[in-house]
Structure 1
Amino acid sequence: MNKHNAVTILRELVSEIIEVSTTLFKIMIPTLIAIKLLEELGGITLLGQLLAPVMSCVGLPESAGIVWATTLLTNIYTGMLVFITQGMEQQLTVAQVTVLSGMMLMAHGLPVEARIAQKAGIRLSITLILRIGGALLYGYLLHVLYTAGDWLQQPNNLIWQPDSLGAASPEPTSVMQWALEQVQGLIAVFAIICVLLTTLKILRIIGFERLINWLLSPLLSLLKIGKEATTITMVGITLGLSFGGGLLIKEAKAGHIAKQDVFSSMALLALCHSIIEDTLLVMLLGAHISGALWLRIAFSLIVISILSRWLLSRSNEFKERYLYTAQVTKHEQ
């Protein structure tokens, strides 16, 4: 590689980092502020009260509603803090904690992540149906499975303590403390994007990306996801929807990935993303790995396989009207 090519690659990399970071920050910053306002106005508590009756359908006490409501609007870390402060670890079985954790894993941080999916080209209503509906269905199936087999019915044993992870105190924080935490979080996101895009660029240059695509092609073919979306999909599955979705936004706008591939990829990430970090987090609450990881992966693959095949039978007019947003316009199927 000569000096001219190296400079060109470096410029492309910097441009990509700025583009992806700017796109994500334009979504995340206003949404974080809106959620803070909603929290201060008691919106999370109200949502928890609305969800309380639903919890019995998945074998959970009504008090679990506030835990899931918090997770839906913020993130898994905050949901874990509410779980602790509510003293729920003292009244649930391992099966119940696994059910609640499975729902938290599929549906969390919706204001930010649903907006990212929308920018990538998927209608907001579809994302919410997939994530909330998928979480409820998955929670119900886990509840039925564990109850029928009389599995994991022993009292839950809490592993995680807030101080052990350096988590924020459950006590109310000032606006300045909250703002500082958000800035630190955004800096961390930017750092991860820099490392992620640099790694992907290196893998592309040395040809390793093609090997990954070849190895995963049978699975993604089953899910009807094209090879152009393979690497980005795997980024989302392992690191999180925000990063995978951010890359999908860039590639979709450039016309590099077909609309159906974007839809199938984002649908998969809606149900199964950040399988390393998030799985470890809920296991610290006492969730069993069967529901936190293996059954979640199986459930996601089955649902997306069925959904992708159904999508093939729909007309382009139907897809444009009900499934896709107007953001993705350059690449035609």
Structure 2
Amino acid sequence: MNRAAARLAKTLARVRWLEGLLSGLRTAWKLGRIIFPVTLAVSLLRYTPVYEFLLSGLSPVMGVFGLPQEAAVALLLGNLLNLYAAIGAILTMGLTVKQVFILAVMLSFSHGLPVESAVCRQVGASLAAVLSFRIGLAVVSGITINLVWSGGGAQAGYGLASGGGPEPSGPLEITTGALQSAAVGVIQISAIVIPLMVFIQVLKDLGALERFAARTRPLVTPLGIPAHGSITMAGGLLFGLAFGAGVILEQAREQGFTRREITLVLLFLCACHAVVEDTLIFIPLGIPVLPLLLIRLTVAVALTAVIATVWRRPVTVPD
């Protein structure tokens, strides 16, 4: 027992704990400067004429996806805020299983655009490319599922899920709610990013990251992604573009990806990220979630491989 304890103590002594903590704090600060103002602005936007204008522009085209006009509310909230806001809107609608599934697939590809796109921009990816890719996937997938799937006509059962609280009324309540949402977003990110970066530092100092990268090389190489990009991929797949941003930003800084490499990583993650949370969150809506996951993963692998084949010239990311 004493020998085992001594070995453990010796192993832990190799870890640069302070470096991991400082890395987490730096990343949380960087993300907080993005998330707070973006979340505040978008939360306030819901109560302005701009929101109604956007909604009026989306409503007439819902028929292309086989959706009622009211579904535009869910798409707009999901894209401007997050999946939870979109699901809150869906719970108020009497939709079929097919319609809910179409919304789930579209929102899986395209959601939280202001925050997640800002994170991608910080890493060095083209904002226009990220937005076009995600919105394009959502549009194409919605139209395709509507045309191909003839089933799913039964009324969707929402199980134990329930809608959100009452809408705020008056400028003070709206502003207070927006500030609260922005603050909670920063706290949530920090609570995940700081311990995650300490954990990454532990893995790094113990040599686990290098072994992980070596073993995943056969999986990421066909996608045009270098082996050291597997850590970034894993962070995004498990935690998403926002919550996994700590890993993404830190790895981008340390590994010195070319613009091609980081763009391929991010395009893959745009199509398929936070695979656990973003899949399980739709279970209460009564839709088949395994096909949802398989669609995202298949599209991510296929499109990234095609783009990697077409785009062969590496360009170094400027400092």
Place the TM-score, normalised by the shorter chain, in its bin.
0.7 to 0.9
1:101 aligns with 2:104: yes
Q: Which residue of structure 1 lines up, in the alignment, with residue 245 of structure 2?
A: 245
Deviates more, 1:152-161 or 1:299-308: 152-161
The 2-side partners of 1:157 and 1:295 are apart by 22
In the TM superposition, what is the alpha-carbon distance from 1:43 to its structure 2 partner? Answer: 2.9
2:124 aligned partner, one-letter code: G
- Secondary structure (helix, strand or coil) at the match of 1:260 reads helix
Alignment of 1:92-171 (within 5 A): 92-147=95-150, 151-162=151-162, 168-171=164-167
After TM superposition, the score normalised by the length of structure 2 is 0.87
The 2-side partners of 1:60 and 1:232 are apart by 36
Over the aligned positions, Cα root-mean-square deviation in angstroms equals 2.5
The 2-side partners of 1:254 and 1:234 are apart by 16
The 2-side partners of 1:98 and 1:17 are apart by 37
Q: Which residue of structure 2 lines up, in the alignment, with residue 284 of structure 1?
A: 284
2:18 aligned partner, one-letter code: R
- Secondary structure (helix, strand or coil) at the match of 1:162 reads coil
- Secondary structure (helix, strand or coil) at the match of 2:67 reads coil
1:172 aligned partner, one-letter code: P
1:97 aligned partner, one-letter code: V
1:66 aligned partner, one-letter code: V
Q: Which residue of structure 1 lines up, in the alignment, with residue 179 of structure 2?
A: 179
For structure 2, the 5+ residue unaligned runs are 1-6
1:230 aligned partner, one-letter code: S
Alignment of 1:1-333 (within 5 A): 6=13, 9-85=16-92, 88=93, 90=94, 92-147=95-150, 151-162=151-162, 168-172=164-168, 174=173, 175-254=175-254, 256-312=256-312, 315=313, 328-330=317-319
1:272-309 residue CA offsets vs partner (Å, 9 max, x unmatched): 11111111112222222144211221112111111121
The 2-side partners of 1:36 and 1:96 are apart by 26
1:257 aligned partner, one-letter code: F
1:239-292 residue CA offsets vs partner (Å, 9 max, x unmatched): 110133343333334453232221111111111111111111122222221442
The 2-side partners of 1:245 and 1:190 are apart by 11
The 2-side partners of 1:152 and 1:118 are apart by 38
- Secondary structure (helix, strand or coil) at the match of 2:148 reads helix
The answer as to whether partners of 1:252 and 1:258 remain within 8 angstroms in 2 is no
After TM superposition, the score normalised by the length of structure 1 is 0.84
Residue identity (%): 25
The 1-side partners of 2:153 and 2:105 are apart by 16
1:157-202 residue CA offsets vs partner (Å, 9 max, x unmatched): 1124237xxxx51422623244234323321211101221122222
Closer, same or farther: CA 170–217 of 1 in aligned 2, 3 Å: farther
For structure 1, the 5+ residue unaligned runs are 321-327
The answer as to whether partners of 1:235 and 1:244 remain within 8 angstroms in 2 is yes
The 1-side partners of 2:209 and 2:245 are apart by 18
Deviates more, 1:253-262 or 1:115-124: 253-262
